[in-house]
Amino acid sequence: MTESLHRLDALDLAHRMADGMLRAEALAEALIDRSAALEPGLRAWAWFDAAAARRRARGPLAGLPLAVKDNIDTAGIPTAYGSPIYADHVPAVDAACVALARAAGAWVLGKTACTEFANMTPCATRNPWHLAHTPGGSSSGSAAAVSAGLVPLALGTQTAGSVIRPAAFCGIVGYKPSRGRLPRAGVKANADTLDEVGVMARSVADVAWLADVLAGRPQPAAPAAQRPNVALTLTSRAHALSAEMVGAAEAAARRLAAAGAAVAPAGPTDSFEALFDAQRTVQLFETARALAPEWQYRRRALSAGLRRLLAEGHAIRAEAYAAALQTITAANAALDTLFGPADVLLTPAAPGAAPASLKTTGDPLFNRPWQLLGCPCLTLPGGLDTNGLPLGLQLVARPGNDRLLFAAATWAEGVLQSPDISHARCR
């Protein structure tokens, strides 16, 4: 039993503990041992606490370990925001999402490594599928820890593609909510218009469960599967996709249709073309201001890459920022044209599999428009490329339709689930 606990989903573990079939201490010991074995190569943890299992509360998440991204405050636990500037920083209080998870009985096994201030400069974490490849970012450690079976549940954050992309690269399920659905208090700010807390796990049911707890809407059971109407779009940037990513998206559409879903091409995307560049403009402008203290007083301690991004953000004129925000209004007005009768869009989560580099976290291009619109997004494993690396599919719903997204994703997961992914993700 101990050797296979890392393969079990959070709901399964919770049921076993509730039924007395599994002791929380046994689960903690198994995951602590697994971390000790894999962490020297994986480097997913920024901070790790083997004693944390002794500090638990009652609730729906009782006994379940949680990994928390290092840009999310944790009371009494070092939180460095991925920067040496805050190497000795220990918050006095939890971020809201951590406090809610702890109140529901979860315990923090550790803080996961993230990119510098959750931007683009990579951290030390490696992809568990191949240690020479990036795990994605900025929620690098959270994705790697879940994928490698170090922990069943993890918190991340997303400003462009920082939950969806690493989840895709690591072959797990990642969820980014509609704007404001999960509380952000206590998370180091990057861009107020865009920042969201997200969830990672190994199944749709697990991410829906944890997200509902954090949203103050705990559900009595896993989301019921609902066969959706689906619109396929590779977007106007399809030229940036690998051939294998295109093949995975189109094959998924065929499998969903064969299982009974109504699948059709998405509507015209002309109104959405401006979102790709507008999202980046909004992010850079707001991040330059969110990190103004670090820029003003500790600039030399920032990486060269982040300094370049912040300088670019400071150079953006207010008129250009305002124009970028206006693209949201125009695109929202055309959402029904894009979706048509579809409940969800099926689209790539990333340009392809994880790049063979530790000097990049990959490109968030295929996450930018949905982030700016505030759409809920969820990534599902979409099979493996010829190098044996995961390819991620993305389901996107209209803003506010998170429960519909969970229902559609639960059904799609059952249709698309790949034995290769489920067996290899916890190597």
**Considering the domain boundaries, does residue 222 fall inside one?**
no
- Looking at the fold, whether 181 and 233 belong to one and the same domain comes out as no
- Looking at the fold, whether 316 and 195 belong to one and the same domain comes out as no
Give per-residue pLDDT as tens, 321-330.
999 999 999 9
**Considering the domain boundaries, does residue 224 fall inside one?**
no
- Looking at the fold, whether 207 and 278 belong to one and the same domain comes out as no
Contacts of 412 (CB under 8 A, 6+ apart): 228, 252, 256, 261, 380, 395
**Considering the domain boundaries, does residue 221 fall inside one?**
no
Residue 426 — pLDDT band, cuts 50, 70, 90?
A: very low
- Looking at the fold, whether 346 and 318 belong to one and the same domain comes out as no
- Looking at the fold, whether 169 and 251 belong to one and the same domain comes out as no
**Considering the domain boundaries, does residue 425 fall inside one?**
no
- Looking at the fold, whether 239 and 376 belong to one and the same domain comes out as yes
**Considering the domain boundaries, does residue 61 fall inside one?**
yes
Res. 226: pLDDT tops 50? yes
Domain that holds residue 128: 2-214
Query: Which amino acid type is present at position 175?
Result: Y
Three-state secondary structure of 308-354: HHHHHHHHCCHHHHHHHHHHHHHHHHCHHHHHCCCCEEEEECCCCCC
CATH of the domain at 62: 3.90.1300.10
- Looking at the fold, whether 171 and 293 belong to one and the same domain comes out as no
Active site (annotated) includes residue 203: no
- Looking at the fold, whether 159 and 71 belong to one and the same domain comes out as yes
Give per-residue pLDDT as tens, 87-122.
999 999 999 999 999 999 999 999 999 999 999 999
Residue 131 confidence (pLDDT): 98
The burial of 246, by beta-carbon neighbours within 10 Å (0-12 exposed, 13-18 middle, 19 or more buried), is given as: middle
Give per-residue pLDDT as tens, 229-275.
999 999 999 999 999 999 999 999 999 999 999 999 999 988 899 99
**Considering the domain boundaries, does residue 198 fall inside one?**
yes
Residue 423 confidence (pLDDT): 43
Q: Which of 330, 356, 372 marks a domain boundary?
A: 330
Check: CB of residue 245 under 8 Å from CB of residue 228. no
Active site (annotated) includes residue 69: yes
**Considering the domain boundaries, does residue 220 fall inside one?**
no
**Considering the domain boundaries, does residue 153 fall inside one?**
yes
Terminal Cα distance for the chain, rounded: 16
- Looking at the fold, whether 128 and 171 belong to one and the same domain comes out as yes
Residue 133 corresponds to which tokens in the numbers above?
């490849």
Alpha-carbon distance values, 200 to 48, 132, 266, 393 (Å): 18, 22, 27, 15
From the list 35, 69, 83, 147, the catalytic residue is: 69
More confident residue, 4 or 227: 227
- Looking at the fold, whether 253 and 281 belong to one and the same domain comes out as no
Q: How many Å apart are CA 160 and CA 138, to the nearest integer?
A: 9
Q: Which of 214, 240, 258 marks a domain boundary?
A: 214
Q: Which pTM value belongs to this model? A: 0.97
From the list 35, 83, 138, 140, the catalytic residue is: 138
Res. 220: pLDDT tops 90? no
- Number of domains comprising the chain: 3
From the list 35, 147, 162, 303, the catalytic residue is: 162
- Looking at the fold, whether 25 and 96 belong to one and the same domain comes out as yes
- Looking at the fold, whether 285 and 404 belong to one and the same domain comes out as no
Active site (annotated) includes residue 162: yes
Query: Which amino acid type is present at position 231?
Result: A
Query: Which amino acid type is present at position 196?
Result: E
Q: How many Å apart are CA 165 and CA 174, to the nearest integer?
A: 8
